Amino acid sequence: MNVKLTLSLDRDIIEQAKEFARSQHKSLSKLIEGYLRQTTAPTDSATQITPLVARLSGVIDARKLGDGTSDYAEYLADKYR
């Protein structure tokens, strides 16, 4: 059931939001509804992992990476000699 809601926002923000909604081929109401639905949805305690990240997980051995600070420090030392 749809219910009307009145909001007070900066005029420039409203115009920018309307333009964005047009570029997405959505009404401003649907755009805001989607945002509110997403931000108020209950979250799982586990982090959501996208399929791409799941496929790439384990490709690089994290133990071999180190913290990377020494490599960057060496790079900067060479760069500014």
Residue spans of the domains in the chain: they are: 11-79
Residues with Cβ within 8 Å of residue 26, at least 6 apart in sequence: 34
CA Rg, the chain, in Å? 23
The C-alpha angle 52, 65, 70, rounded to 5 degrees, equals 135
pLDDT in tens, the chain (81 residues): 899 999 999 999 999 999 999 999 999 999 999 999 988 887 765 667 888 888 888 777 777 776 667 778 888 888 998
pTM for this predicted structure: 0.50
